[in-house]
């Protein structure tokens, strides 16, 4: 066997490995992970309270500056 013949076989083996992995991925019975769902993010109660207090202080300052 010549070196070129072995290199050709190795190249074909690489292509076959790639093809086999691709087919196995499509034939796998486990579902692909779903994309992250869009929509409103939920916020814990403590964080919501912090935001509420921060916004109340913000608007109180804005009202004070206006008057």
Q: pLDDT tens for residues 39-63?
A: 888 899 999 999 999 999 999 999 9
Q: What is the CA radius of gyration of the chain?
A: 31
- Residues 54 and 49: their CA atoms lie apart, in Å, by 9
Which pLDDT score is estimated for 1?
Answer: 67
**What is the per-residue pLDDT across 4-31, written as a single tens digit (0 to 9) for each?**
888 999 999 999 999 998 888 878 777 6
- Residues 65 and 45: their CA atoms lie apart, in Å, by 30
């Amino acid at each position: 066997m010549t070196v070129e013949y072995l290199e050709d076989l190795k190249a074909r083996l690489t292509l076959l490995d790639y093809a086999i992995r691709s087919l196995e991925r499509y034939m796998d019975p486990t579902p692909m992970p779903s994309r992250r769902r869009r929509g409103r993010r939920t916020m814990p109660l403590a964080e919501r309270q912090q935001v509420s207090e921060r916004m109340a202080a913000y608007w109180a300052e804005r009202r004070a500056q206006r008057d």
